[in-house]
Amino acid sequence: MIPLSQGQVPASADAVIIGGGINGLTTARELGKLGLKNIVVLEKNYIGSGSTGRCGGGIRQQWTTKENIRLAQESVAMYEEMSADLGYQVFFRQGGYLMITENESDLPALRQAAELQNTCDVPTEFLQPEECLKIVPDLNISKLKGATYCPKDGTAYPFAVVWGYAKACHKLGVKVFIRTTVTEIENDGGRIKGVVTDRGRISTPLVINCAGPWARTMAAKVGVTLPNRQERHEIMVSESLKPFLDPMVISITNGIYFSQSLRGEIVGGIGDPAEPQWEDPADFDNTSQLRFAVRFAKALTEYYPRASKVRMMRQWAGMYDVTPDHRPILGGVPGLEGYFHICGFSGHGFMLGPVTGVRMARYITTGQPDDIISSLSLDRFEKGGIQADAFVVG
């Protein structure tokens, strides 16, 4: 069982973190490790109920911007040691990522991405279609033009990760409240004063917004405007099968991804350009749709014909918290002391969350500059000239 706090929230805290997903819990744990006392995490539903618990569990280093590559590199290193570090099995498995394309026009970008990743010491290699069969023997390569592959990419079980971090937080004295809604964030003269919840008020000088799809809503409570938008995405899971698929397979042509879990299930999703964008997550429709099931089944069986006889068992919907450049927003806001945000991961918070928690906790407690946090600050959108990350799928 995960130790959770009950009853009224405390009257005061040294830090309040809004959001009980990967970003909120990793940040809370890292702040506690750095010596901050009396930390409170507030989650409006249950642990991992937002984007974290609805993701596919993928962790890859194949990006096209150095910031995301470096964050992913450091996160992979953490995932490799996470079960031992947390004392909790998170089921991390490095089966690799195979990124494929049917478009000749994508090949220069794939080659450039692999070269950039290599300069960052990520062991990505560019593959011809025939070489993909060494990694996924039953893959249909008839339409493929090329691919990239990194053997150190992998997957983990999202709920195990957040449960492990919640237990680690408890050992450090962090109080985690679920079913607790933040109704107001108080600030006076450019300084955070406290938060008001449906369980009472907490006086605090430090608020960290890790609310995922609700980050924009929380930021608005202190007069901060985030450029985030919400995208609806679905995932489908099959019956359990004997192990036959090592890597996560991603197509940058149509956005499908699929892998096999340690329990033998095929887990995957596919983007849908017809999906609406959501301004208010309260209006979000999380019901399963037949349109997605048909799109996914058709794409999966085209790429992997042996899946045609597999029974699909369940599907669900979740939200991507998307920024204009598909990179996260980290840091604080000039003129508002004590407020920080960790959001906008565009569907990739699970893979980047652990190291983000480490870097942000260090940044918050020491105030020392961090080049990645600086490059991902909110004001980059005002400055212009932003570099968008490519190959955002799902």
Question: Which pLDDT score is estimated for 275?
Answer: 77
What's the predicted TM-score (pTM) here?
0.94
pLDDT of residue 1: 62
Q: Where are the domains of the chain?
A: 1-93+153-228+323-394, 94-152+229-320
Question: For residue 383, what pLDDT is reported?
Answer: 84
How many Cβ atoms sit within 10 Å of the Cβ of residue 137?
A: 10
What's the confidence (pLDDT) of residue 385?
A: 65
List C-alpha distances in Å: 228 to 60, 150, 217, 300.
23, 30, 10, 30
One pLDDT digit (tens) per residue for the chain, 394 residues: 667 888 899 999 999 999 999 999 999 999 999 999 999 999 999 999 999 999 999 999 999 988 889 999 999 999 999 999 999 999 999 999 999 999 999 999 999 999 999 999 999 999 999 999 999 999 999 999 999 999 999 999 999 999 999 999 999 999 999 999 999 999 998 999 999 999 999 999 999 999 999 999 999 999 999 999 888 899 999 999 999 999 999 999 999 999 999 889 999 999 888 777 766 777 777 788 899 999 999 999 999 998 999 999 999 998 889 999 999 999 999 999 999 999 999 989 999 999 999 999 999 999 999 999 999 999 999 887 677 777 777 5
* Side-chain-facing half-sphere of 8: CA atoms under 13 Å: 6
Query: For residue 197, what are the β-bridge partners?
Result: 182, 200
| DSSP element (H, E) containing 83 | helix 66-86
* Number of helices (H), then strands (E), in the chain: 10, 20
Q: Which fold would CATH assign to domain 1-93+153-228+323-394? A: FAD/NAD(P)-binding domain (3.50.50)
DSSP string, 63-76: -SSHHHHHHHHHHH
Task: Tell the CATH superfamily of the 94-152+229-320 domain.
Answer: D-Amino Acid Oxidase, subunit A, domain 2 (3.30.9.10)
CA–CA distance, 247 with 268 (Å, rounded to integer):
12
Two tokens, residue 8: 């009224």
